[in-house]
């Protein structure tokens, strides 16, 4: 236990190498965003979403082939819930309205099952089909249909971007009030670093960017900030205790003291997120990917980005420890 207690890593001594590594990732991310952009889902681009339920399990490839033969080559098909529940998302089409798209999708799925819709219950919305001369409950039932117009998609994209900017400005003001402006700049630099790299990964690998992914990014901002604040709190506390040490040594000691807590928090969070990624299904696949990336990058940035930025801005005990004299004038503690 004594060896673990005295365990010390010179994190800030490696800050230049970390900065080069982060700068390379940011350049790659920004380059991909400018050249390839993001693969936006229909939440932002507009389109039609149809959820259907089969009586028996169905293979996604069979549904995808059926839709492709009906003219929906760009349809995104995935399970949600069980292997009987299928979600179909079709990008905006100029030659068809949303209602026409959903009708054609359901018609092609029914034809694949060799059945034709004869009646729909007005209350339960359950459809009855004719197959082989007999009437029976349809093998494919439409559960929900949703249409997102292009104007709504643009508005969602704009509002989502503004939400992230408001969050960053709010964090800047909060940290500047609670600590000092150098710490505020360091925390926001770390958060921008986390968001840019996470979004860059989605751009490089062309993972679908949806509203749930945007929500994950906002959650990542909160998680990363919490990690950074814990380190900053320890730094401020050690500036009071370690009066003869340099800011570099104080920050290094603070990071090492909070490291067990940081690792434990990150690992337990990652266990949950990896479980979601493996067992959660396709519907939250990209959501869990964004959170996993955010936790890993956020843990890295709280150590190698936030504190080095504060150090490079010239933080000292005088910036943190202010006391008021009798005349009301503020001065640094001796």
Predicted confidence (pLDDT) per residue in 4-20, tens digit: 455 678 888 898 999 99
Return d(Cα 135, Cα 145) in angstroms, integer.
25
CA distances from 332 to 38, 65, 145, 323 (A): 49, 72, 65, 6
Phi/psi region, residue 115 (left: phi>0; alpha: psi -120 to 50; beta: rest), is beta
Which pLDDT tens digit goes with each residue over 279-302? 877 778 899 999 999 999 999 998
Task: Report the pLDDT value the prediction gives residue 30, as an integer from 0 to 100.
Answer: 95
Task: Report the pLDDT value the prediction gives residue 94, as an integer from 0 to 100.
Answer: 63
Query: How many Å separate Cα 83 from the centre of its chain?
Result: 26
Phi then psi dihedrals of residue 257, to 5 deg = -70, -35
* C-beta of residue 322 within 8 angstroms of C-beta of residue 334: no
SS3 330: strand
Which pLDDT tens digit goes with each residue over 240-293? 888 778 888 889 999 999 998 889 999 999 999 999 898 877 778 899 999 999
Query: How many Å separate Cα 318 from the centre of its chain?
Result: 38
Task: Report the pLDDT value the prediction gives residue 2, as an integer from 0 to 100.
Answer: 41
Which pLDDT tens digit goes with each residue over 140-175? 888 888 887 666 666 777 777 787 788 778 877 877
Question: What are the DSSP calls for 65-134, one per residue?
Answer: HHHHHTT-TT-EEEEESEEEEEEEEEE--TTS-HHHHHHHHHHHHHHHTT-EEEEE-TTT--EEEEETTE
* C-beta of residue 295 within 8 angstroms of C-beta of residue 273: yes
The conformation of residue 282, written as its DSSP 8-state character, comes to G
Task: Report the pLDDT value the prediction gives residue 329, as an integer from 0 to 100.
Answer: 45
**Which pLDDT band holds residue 334 (cuts at 50, 70, 90)?**
very low
Which pLDDT tens digit goes with each residue over 18-56? 999 999 999 999 999 999 988 887 777 778 888 999 988
Q: Where are the alpha helices (DSSP H) in the chain?
A: 2-5, 15-35, 42-45, 60-69, 98-112, 150-178, 181-204, 211-241, 247-279, 285-304, 306-312, 317-320
Task: Report the pLDDT value the prediction gives residue 10, as an integer from 0 to 100.
Answer: 86
CA distances from 93 to 170, 186, 299 (A): 39, 45, 42
Q: Which domains does the chain have, with CATH numbers?
A: 2-40+151-324 (1.20.1640.10), 47-148 (3.30.70.3400)
pLDDT of residue 321 exceeding 80:
no
Query: How many Å separate Cα 138 from the centre of its chain?
Result: 38
């Amino acid at each position: 236990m004594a060896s673990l207690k005295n365990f010390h890593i010179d994190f800030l001594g490696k800050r230049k190498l970390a900065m080069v590594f982060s700068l390379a990732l940011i350049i790659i991310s920004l380059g991909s965003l400018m050249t390839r952009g993001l693969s936006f889902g229909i939440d932002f681009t507009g389109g039609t979403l149809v959820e259907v339920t089969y009586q028996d399990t169905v293979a996604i490839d069979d549904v995808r082939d059926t839709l492709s033969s009906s003219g929906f080559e760009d349809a995104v098909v995935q399970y949600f819930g069980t292997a009987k529940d299928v979600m179909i998302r079709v990008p905006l089409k100029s030659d068809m309205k949303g209602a026409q798209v959903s009708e054609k999708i359901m018609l092609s799925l029914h034809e694949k099952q060799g059945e034709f819709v004869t009646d729909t219950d007005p209350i339960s919305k359950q459809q009855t089909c004719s197959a082989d001369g007999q009437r029976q409950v349809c093998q494919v039932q439409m559960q929900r249909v949703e249409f997102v117009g292009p104007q709504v998609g643009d508005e969602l994209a704009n509002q989502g971007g503004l939400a992230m900017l408001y969050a960053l400005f709010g964090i800047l003001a909060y940290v500047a009030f609670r600590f000092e402006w150098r710490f505020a700049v360091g925390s926001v630099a770390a958060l921008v670093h986390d968001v840019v790299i996470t979004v860059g990964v989605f751009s490089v690998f062309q993972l679908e960017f949806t509203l749930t992914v945007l929500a994950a990014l906002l959650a990542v901002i909160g998680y990363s900030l919490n990690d950074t604040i814990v380190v900053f709190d320890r730094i401020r506390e050690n500036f009071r205790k370690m009066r003869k040490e340099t800011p570099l040594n104080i920050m290094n000691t603070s990071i090492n003291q909070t490291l067990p807590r940081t690792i434990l928090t990150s690992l337990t969070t990652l266990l949950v997120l990896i479980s979601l990624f493996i067992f959660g299904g396709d519907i939250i696949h990209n959501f869990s990917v964004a959170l996993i990336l955010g936790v890993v990058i956020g843990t890295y940035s709280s150590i190698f980005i936030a504190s080095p930025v504060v150090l490079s801005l010239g933080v000292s005990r005088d910036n943190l420890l202010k006391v008021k004299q009798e005349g009301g004038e503020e001065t640094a503690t001796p």
